[in-house]
Amino acid sequence: MKRLSIVASAFVALALAAPARAQGPGSGGDPVKGKVVYERYCLSCHGELGNGAGEFAEWITTKPRDYRQGTFKWRSTPSGSLPTDADLDKTIRDGIYGTFMPTWYAIGEHNRRDVIAYIKTFSARWKTDKPQPSIVIPAEPPYSDASVKRGRAVYEKSNCAQCHGQDALGDGPSAHELKDDWGNPIVPYDLTQGHIKCGDTGSDIYRVFITGLNGTPMPSFTDSISPEEAWDLVHYIQSLSALYPKNYGPAAAK
Ligand code: HEC
Ligand code: HEC
């Protein structure tokens, strides 16, 4: 009987421990350990107070994230939502292309998990709010000439050129007057580079116009672009890059 109850309590302990482990990348970290990681690797840019005003910030554009509002650009969650832990882990692991935010692959998942828990202490939003469920990205249909053409029509219909420009070089009529939520000037991305800031896959591009980039003028088009149109738009953007190894689209035709 006694042995049985030991076995039973072991099961209870396992069951209690299981959810923490099942939460996935970036979850369940220790903020006390995370503070040490932060002070070693992040403070020089993101600042002691998490306000994005570390000693390098002055010399850097785009500015390091100010964590106090709980506003994050790269999320799998709808516009206005907090990111998931996995979203933060992906950003921190891969870095942000074309900016001073490096990849932190080398510090390992444990350190990233702890530093994520510490970053959350800078904004009360993490106590009062929860990330909404991630958007569903349907499987990518095949890339084709016809899809690229339809994508160009979606680009025109949605007025992307207002900011990104006719040829998507980031030079639209509004390009030079945009500011982010922190009051810093921000330029629309040059979509012909063959990389976006946070990821290179079709799904990474898809995600951006459905979730928008919180804290920036880049809006969410979830109400005006259907999933089929969104994939066409992805193919149009891919076609603009000489890096995309397909003989289709305006970039390849030049
Ligand atoms: C050399 C400067 C620098 C260092 C060091 C640095 N960052 Fe950043 N970080 C940036 C910049 C710049 C951005 C903003 C990029 C942008 O918005 O385009 C950023 C943005 C972020 C974001 C916001 C992503 C989003 O979706 O909005 C997170 C999270 C982040 N950094 C985490 C970290 C962590 C964790 C560390 C330490 C392990 C770290 N950073 C170290 C420069 C730095
Ligand atoms: C009101 C201006 C505005 C409009 C309209 C706009 N964008 Fe953007 N977009 C931006 C800005 C600003 C950025 C850069 C944000 C940054 O670097 O943090 C951006 C960034 C992007 C990125 C790169 C994201 C990344 O992770 O690097 C993509 C892709 C994108 N926009 C696609 C589009 C498409 C497609 C449309 C039309 C459906 C569109 N945008 C409409 C302002 C706009």
CA distance 178 to 190: 15
In the reported structure, the alpha carbon of residue 2 is separated from the centroid of ligand 2 by a whole-number distance in angstroms of: 64
Task: Find the ligand nearest to 195 CA.
Answer: 2
The finding on whether 182 has its CB within 6 A of some atom of ligand 1 is no
How do residues 42-87 score in pLDDT, each as one tens digit?
999 999 999 999 999 999 999 999 999 999 999 999 999 999 999 9
Q: What is the mean pLDDT of residues 173-190?
A: 96
How do residues 17-38 score in pLDDT, each as one tens digit?
444 445 789 999 999 999 999 9
In the reported structure, the alpha carbon of residue 218 is separated from the centroid of ligand 2 by a whole-number distance in angstroms of: 5
Pocket test residue of 39, 41, 46, 196 for ligand 1, highest count of atoms within 8 A of CB: 46
Give Cβ neighbours of residue 224 (< 8 Å, ≥ 6 apart).
Answer: 158
Query: What CA dihedral angle connects 119, 220, 245 and 164, to 10 degrees?
Result: -100
The pLDDT mean for the chain works out to 89
Give the amino acid at 23: Q
Q: In the structure, what pLDDT confidence band is assigned to residue 251 with cuts at 50, 70 and 90?
A: very low
CA distance 46 to 140: 36
The pair of structure tokens assigned to 177 is 């007057």
CA distance 254 to 251: 6
In the reported structure, the alpha carbon of residue 45 is separated from the centroid of ligand 1 by a whole-number distance in angstroms of: 8
CA distance 60 to 45: 9
CA 154 to chain CA centroid, Å, is: 23
